[in-house]
Amino acid sequence: MKVFERTENGVTSTVSKREGLDEINHAQMGGKRDVRTMSSITRTDFAIEYKDGRKVRLVLVDAPERTSPRFAFGDLVMTDQGLGKVAKVISVPRRNGTRITRYDVELDTGGEIYAHESDVRPFEPEMKSPEQPAEERTALIQRRADGHDLMGRVVTVKGKDYVVSRIVPADRPVHTGAPKGWEPRAYVDYWSERDGMRFGATRTAGPDAKPGTVGRAIWDAVNR
């Protein structure tokens, strides 16, 4: 299919072959009193200069290929009325030989709208930021003269807060005087927590603590 590229004072647009020929015929006949000069550069290329200062160039060319629609049936899209799904793709011819695309969109909220291509946008799921781990609470275990106080992690077990020391590993050196055949095991010391400090007696928890006890729950909590 042929169309005219119409350039007026440097601005180019595309018009149908019929519209281009109508302007050429009008400049040669009924409207020639408004034309200063007109020339046929080739059989498909015409130049018109109007008395009001407009300069028009009309060149017959092949119509540009129609681009594929941006969206297809079933695509999720965003419209001014919310999220929806493309139910129908409609190609509408224009007088200048080109085509425009419109869509029937079924809205998630119910109902259907008829939308121009410029009113439909790709659906972009919101990217959630990774959840930041909760800030770890600590409490004072022991004050030191050098100012580097010994702090412990606070864990909540059975609705109560406890201060827990670092894990003492099982592969530590065996102290002199330990019973024969005794094998060291990993453990933590823990205390009740009050006003940001340890409180009460020192207790110990390890992997051999009885299931269901506070000691076992504390051991499991520090090893997660």
Whether domain 76-122 has CATH 2.40.10: the reply is: yes
Neighbours of 105 (CB within 10 A): 27
Write out pLDDT tens, residues 108-140: 888 888 888 778 888 877 655 555 555 678 888
Order of all β-strands in the sheet with 76-79: 112-116, 99-107, 82-93, 76-79, 121-122
Only one residue has tokens 């275990």, namely 141
pLDDT at 44: 92
State pTM to two decimals. 0.39
The 10 Å CB-count burial string (b at 16+, else e) for 38-70 is eeeeeeeebebbbeeeeebbbbbeebeeeeebe
Structural domain spans, the chain: 2-62, 76-122, 138-222
Cα separation of 219 and 188, whole Å? 7
Per residue in 169-188, pLDDT (tens digit) is: 877 665 556 566 667 788 89
